[in-house]
Amino acid sequence: MFKKLLIFLVSAVLVIVIVLLLLDPILKPEYKNKDECKSYGTLELLCGLQNPEDFAEIPGENAVIVSQFSGLAELNYGETKSGILSRMNLDTREIEDYQIRFELDNNLGIGEEGCEPFEGLYPHGIDVYQNISIRDESFSPFLKEAHLLAVVNHQLVDRIEFFLFFSDQVVFSDSSARELFWVGCVAGPKNSTYFNDVVISDENGSFYATHQYDKDWGFSKLFIFNIFRWDTGYVYEWSKETGYSILNNSEGAWPNGIEMISDTVFVSFRMNGSISAINNNGERKDLKFRSYLDGGSDNIIAKDEELWIAVQDTNFGGLTCMEPNQIQCATPFSVIRTDADLNIIEEINFGDVSFGGLSVVYPHNNELFLGSYKSDRIAIYNTND
């Protein structure tokens, strides 16, 4: 009986795959290659970047940190490129790359004991926390002015790297460059852990991080799981006292962006077309904003008790972006804004524009700053136009 059931299930999967391949021109339409840094009137473009995948607000300044994503090996001829962390002034559009200084043997107590400095930086999701609870006069008398930056780093074993950086008014006389001070890290719980995004949950450097899927899964397995919307990952919670645990009720298909408002954790599930709010009792509320194969959300930005959600409006259409020699392609995307109860306030849709797959949106005054997981540009949309 079991053998017959297994044969039936395998046969059903093969039939579905064949049907999808036959429908490939419909499911995976070709989008125009618009690698030229030329605006068509909808978006202002800032080019010359490497996959500006995520933004994190710098407290008290009209600026954000930009994670210039190392990219997926599948999109770079199998090569994992190194990445960059940069600062973008939202008013002047000036972008400066950070230099990194390793603060070894510090007494700040951030991260896990014995975590060594990274050998290469392959950044993905990032987050900034203000008002950190650390005091060490031997490090800097200006420590109370520092902010904590967490960065997903795709080394051989994925890690969360921690950096301190200082407000713009704090200037160190021995360096004119913008600097991030590496002060610690936390290695992933398994060799196969694939972190996507991180959010710092308290002043001691505790965090939540999305584990998207096991990195040793092949493309075929991911493809099948995505077709059936089976769970591929969950959210990890980490603190220095308890180590790693899985956040209750956080499982889903391709967990991606993560944010917090008060004690509520918000998670986007890229292959479910949904956002979930999970409170500290494990109670979960879902917002379903896309039907089957109509795309899903990437990163989430929390600002002023609202969520700004970057949405890619296609699933299989995004496969056309996987040509390594293509900088970006003009897949459709949306920006969804909700309140903290996941009520949709507004939705802005974009179609045939000179931009790649949307992965993050940050609001500033009357403008939206848009970043991408595979593109050489940041786009700016004026909401008054």
Which DSSP string corresponds to 110-135? -S-TTPPPPSS--EEEEEEESS----
State how far the Cα of 302 lies from the Cα of 308, in Å rounded to an integer. 6
pLDDT band at 36 (very low <50, low <70, confident <90, very high): confident
Q: Would residue 330 count as lying in a domain?
A: no
The answer to whether residue 149 scores a pLDDT higher than 80 is yes
Tell me the mean pLDDT in the region 160-178. 79
Residue 153: pLDDT above 50?
A: yes
How does residue 102 score in pLDDT terms, banded at 50, 70 and 90? very high
Question: 99-102 and 179-187 as β-strands: parallel, antiparallel, unpaired?
Answer: parallel
**Residue 85 domain-assigned?**
yes
**Span 114-137, average pLDDT:** 88
Residue 173 clears pLDDT 70, i.e. is over it: no
Sheet containing 255-261: order of strands:
255-261, 264-269, 274-278, 284-288
Q: What CATH number does the domain containing 94 carry?
A: 2.120.10.30
Inside any domain, residue 333? no
Cα 289 to the center of its chain, rounded Å: 19
One-letter amino acid at 78 equals G
Q: Between 219-228 and 2-22, two packed helices, what is the crossing angle to 10 degrees? A: 90
For residue 203, give both structure tokens: 């002043």
Residue of 301, 378, 299, 308 whose CA lies nearest to 347: 308
The pair of three-digit structure tokens given for residue 315, joined into one six-digit string: 């699933």
Task: Report whether pLDDT(169) > 50.
Answer: yes
- Whether the CB-CB separation of 378 and 89 falls below 8 Å is answered with no
Would residue 256 be called left, alpha or beta, if left means φ above 0 and alpha means ψ between -120 and 50 degrees? Answer: alpha
Residue 330 has a pLDDT of 76
The confidence band for 107, taking pLDDT boundaries of 50, 70 and 90, is: confident
In this structure, is residue 273 part of a structural domain? yes
Task: Name the residue range of residue 69's domain.
Answer: 54-312
Q: Which residues contact 113 (CB under 8 A, 6 or more apart)?
A: none
For the chain, percent of residues with pLDDT exceeding 90: 61
CB 328 within 8 A of CB 45: no
Q: Tell me the pLDDT band of 38, cut-offs 50, 70 and 90.
A: confident
Range of weakest confidence among 67-71, 178-182, 274-278: 67-71
Q: Which of these, 149, 35, 38, lies nearest to 98 by C-alpha position?
A: 149
In whole angstroms, what is the distance from residue 278 CA to residue 264 CA? 6
pLDDT at 314: 81
Q: Is pLDDT of 27 > 60?
A: no
Report phi then psi at 17, rounded to 5: -65, -40
Q: pLDDT (tens digit, 9 = 90+) per residue, 334-371?
A: 999 999 999 999 999 998 788 888 999 999 999 999 99
Position 77 pLDDT exceeds 60: no
Q: For residue 40, name the pLDDT band (cuts at 50, 70, 90).
A: confident
Average pLDDT over all residues of the chain: 86
Cα-Cα-Cα-Cα dihedral sign, residues 80, 85, 91, 94: negative
pLDDT at 20: 47
Q: Is 228 helix (H, G, I), strand (E, B) or coil?
A: helix
Number of domains in the chain: 1
Q: Judge whether 8 lies within some domain.
A: no
203-214 pLDDT tens trace: 899 999 999 999
Q: Is the dihedral of CA 282, 285, 287, 291 positive or negative?
A: positive
Residue type, 24: D
Phi, then psi, of 213 in degrees rounded to 5: -170, 170
Whether 329 is in a domain gets the answer no
User: Cβ contacts of residue 363 below 8 Å, gap of 6+?
Assistant: 301, 303, 308, 337, 369
According to the model, what pLDDT value does residue 167 have? 81
In this prediction, residue 328 has a pLDDT band, given cuts at 50, 70 and 90, of confident
Q: Residue 33 has what pLDDT? A: 67
In a domain, 302, yes or no: yes
Per-residue pLDDT at 48 exceeds 90: yes
pTM here is 0.90
| Phi (first) and psi of residue 4, to 5 degrees | -65, -40
Among the residue ranges 69-83, 84-98, 354-368, the one predicted with the least confidence is 69-83
**Is 181 within 8 Å of 195 (Cβ atoms)?**
no
Residue, of 153 and 173, whose pLDDT is higher: 153
pLDDT 10s digits, 286-309? 999 988 778 899 999 999 999 999
Judge whether 224 and 91 are in contact, CB under 8 Å.
no
Is residue 26 predicted with pLDDT exceeding 60?
no
DSSP code, position 109: -
Return the ∠ at Cα 171 (arms to 168 and 174), rounded to 5°: 145
